[in-house]
Structure 1
Amino acid sequence: MSAPSEPLSQWQLVWRRFKKHRLGLASGYVIAFLVFLVVFADFLSPYYYGMHHRRLDFAPPTLIHFWDEKGTFSFQPFIYGIVAAKRDPITNLKVYGEDTSKKYPICFFCAGDPYRFLGLFPTNMHLFGTGEDSTSPGQIFLFGTDDFGRDLFSRTLIGGRVSISIGPLVLMVSLFLAVLFGGISGYYGGFVDLFLQRIIEILQAFPGLPLLIALGYVVHRLGLSPLMVFLGLVSILSLLGWGGLARILRGLILSLREQEFSLAAKAMGASDLRIIFRHLLPNTITVIIVTSTLAIPGLILTEAALSFLGLGISDPMTSWGQLLNVLQQQNIVNVFRFWPWLMIPGFFIIVAVLAFNFLGDALRDAFDPFSQQGR
């Protein structure tokens, strides 16, 4: 007889069920890829995200060539110089073309604008580029340029740092408040529970979006730096968002405190804090993980909406929502007609939101042993 296999732990069972959720697993890889892009954005982007390329505003995405105009193949990809040949007689907009008289080879691991790798080590090494200065026509713009001639690819990668990080940062503060007040409220009950629940209800009574818009307007009127605006946005979203999770945790703690393991710990003389944080809260970790994952998409959309309206992140910082602010400045109809590449940051928002939603659904099914999807 073969020896009986060892029983699987809870986390092993969760992982086994999660792997069967293909959409959730793929979403996890997408999120990991987005995180990789924004962490190494300085290295992956060919230019400093604030670099202005004069006379190249609203330039379309650069075409990468392997065959020249004579049909000769080249293993090293290259581009042609960008030239504004003329203006459209009806719209008076620049019409860009390629100067095929000179090739600009695309080099890899080449020198470019200086930056600090991971914010620590000074370097000027970039994954790719042409090695030309900003006045040369030999520029590579994978996503085109914006209204100031700034490389949209570089700005999209750098902007993802704010859009991706704001969710976890807000959740860190919100989880601390929710775990603290929800745990205390559920464990002690009575007057403490009544008092804390009334505070939560008062906070939840505030209209979230109008308050955020009003506070964003006030912050901008005060002339604070973009970093302070970002920190203020994180603080506001954190203070407004912890109440719901606190009430969920309260309900769980109310039921868990009457379980045998909790009563046994109390009978053995364990302190209240030890019972709450050592015995009760660990049994709510699955709810915390799933709720947090599903909350991130809403936070990404909130930041994007505020920045799109000009009340969130602003220059010199950037985010995906702030990059879409050009739609207001240039008329969204004109953007769709003449500069559709300016909508690319919106695609990243959609992908990130869907990925976090699918991941949250997969985690919820994986943690639920009775879920048909997770079996």
Structure 2
Amino acid sequence: MTEPTPPSARHAAEHGASVSLDPLAPLVIDLDASRADSAAPPESPGRIFWRQLKKSPLAIIGGVVLIFFYVLALLAPFVAPYTQEEMDRRRYFHPPHALHVVDSQGAFHLRPFVRETRLANPSAFRYEEDPSAERPVRFFVRGAEYSLLGLFRSNVHLFGLDGDSRIYLLGTDSFGRDEFSRLLYGGQVSLTVGLIGIVISFSLGLLLGGISGYFGGLTDSVIMRATELLLSIPSLYLIIALRAVFPIDLPSQQVYLGIVAILAFIGWAGLARVIRGLVLSIRRNEYVVAAEALGVSRFRIITRHILPNTWSFVIVAATISVPGYILGEVVLSFLGVGVQEPASSWGNMLNQARSIRALTSFPWLLYVPGLAIFLTVMAFNFLGDGLRDALDPRRVTGGRS
């Protein structure tokens, strides 16, 4: 007759421990084997993503740079010492002010200061500093009134000078406007065009690509032929042609919305084709077939079961695509058909550096907006590369990488 297995031995065996089933032998449990099987639970997808992202220092740097730029653009009225339209008719093409901490007597100052300048050569716009006129930089000074975030009004600016003295950290343009202030205000246009355009175009691309891949047939053919038509036209010429539809004298706010609409209109086609291919493979998965068998509506299947599985690709593609939208706005404004003066964008700031004289005599007109555009594009590319590696499923297997 077979002896029943003792409950303690059965419990140990169920948990992977080594036991002896001889009823006359003493019960021996291998606790090391039991501990080995009670390992730490697998990491959550969020922790895996963050751990992978931290392996890319360039992606972290890119993210920090972008956060810094967007915060500056958001707080532009407060950080900028002057408005984007304010002109100084005594200082056209003024070079960037030098910050000093040692005065003309050789004394050191903790508070930086600038020196007043005078126009030494009007024809060449050459300025000379006056060592006897030193103006300390003040923080939280009062100036032009503004509305911050549309929530409250204030006239306090982050820094400035006392009285009628003015500080130009990045110089002035041909109208005597502060380049630093215009750079911050221009960032509100150039940086947000990319984000809003991506949201609109990727929403269209996801929806149309998902519908095309799921339904197939005539619907698929119509949508794909439309994408091929858009992709066959050179994007720059298409952007300029669409911009020509709008009157050239539109207010800046309407021009901004028009640029966003144009960039979004031409940006959805490429994504829709990729999403279609992903949906064609995802729709064959068991959970999609099960949802169809349960009578779940097609719209719910697309939006709740299929499209969420494309998010890892969409996030990476959106991050890498934002620079293209920013450059699209820059090109339009540089060519004079984008945001119009006196409103600023990085494109129309760059427009002032078109002449040979501007490049040779007033180089800050080129490197101020040009460097901002370069750093933004590189930061988005670095962040996109890092996100692509962190979200790559081939790098993560079974919760371990």
Same-fold call, TM > 0.5? yes
Q: Which moved further from structure 2: 188-197 or 44-53?
A: 188-197
8 Å CA contact 1:111, 1:131 repeated in 2: no
Per-residue deviation at 1:371?
A: 4.8
8 Å CA contact 1:304, 1:322 repeated in 2: yes
Q: Larger Rg: 1 or 2?
A: 2
Q: 1:234 aligns with which of 260, 264, 267?
A: 260
8 Å CA contact 1:112, 1:124 repeated in 2: yes
Q: 1:96 aligns with which of 112, 118, 127?
A: 127
What fraction of aligned residue pairs are identical, expressed as a percent? 44
2:112 aligns to what?
A: 77
Deviation string, structure 1 residues 300-343 (Cα, Å, up to 9, x no partner): 11111111111211112211111010122xx1x22232111112
1:334 aligns to what?
A: 357
Distance 1:279 1:106 in 2: 58
Taking only aligned residues, the RMSD between alpha carbons, in angstroms, comes to 1.7
Deviation string, structure 1 residues 86-121 (Cα, Å, up to 9, x no partner): 34xxxx212211222232221111111111112321
AA matched with 2:304: R
Query: What count of residue pairs does the alignment treat as equivalent?
Result: 362
Distance 1:283 1:163 in 2: 31
AA matched with 2:292: K
Q: Which moved further from structure 2: 118-127 or 98-107?
A: 98-107
2:327 aligns to what?
A: 301
1:317 aligns to what?
A: 343
Distance 1:147 1:220 in 2: 26
2:87 aligns to what?
A: 52
2:141 paired with 1:110: yes
When normalised by structure 2's length, the TM-score is 0.87
8 Å CA contact 1:81, 1:103 repeated in 2: yes
Per-residue deviation at 1:273?
A: 1.2
8 Å CA contact 1:290, 1:364 repeated in 2: yes
Distance 1:81 1:237 in 2: 44
Deviation string, structure 1 residues 235-286 (Cα, Å, up to 9, x no partner): 1111111011111111111111111011111112211111111111110001
8 Å CA contact 2:104, 2:131 repeated in 1: yes
The secondary structure found in structure 2 opposite 1:325 is helix
Distance 2:335 2:222 in 1: 37
Distance 2:121 2:218 in 1: 75
AA matched with 1:115: Y
AA matched with 2:387: L
Residues 251-290 of structure 1: pairs in structure 2 closer than 5 A: 251-290=277-316
Q: 2:157 aligns with which of 118, 126, 129?
A: 126
8 Å CA contact 1:220, 1:311 repeated in 2: no
Q: 2:380 aligns with which of 339, 356, 362?
A: 356
8 Å CA contact 2:173, 2:365 repeated in 1: yes
Distance 1:336 1:206 in 2: 33
8 Å CA contact 2:104, 2:132 repeated in 1: no
When normalised by structure 1's length, the TM-score is 0.92
8 Å CA contact 2:353, 2:359 repeated in 1: no
Per-residue deviation at 1:179?
A: 1.5
Residues 205-244 of structure 1: pairs in structure 2 closer than 5 A: 205-221=232-248, 223-244=249-270
Per-residue deviation at 1:132?
A: 2.5
Unaligned stretches of 5+ in structure 1?
A: none
2:195 aligns to what?
A: 168
2:101 aligns to what?
A: 66
2:8 aligns to what?
A: none
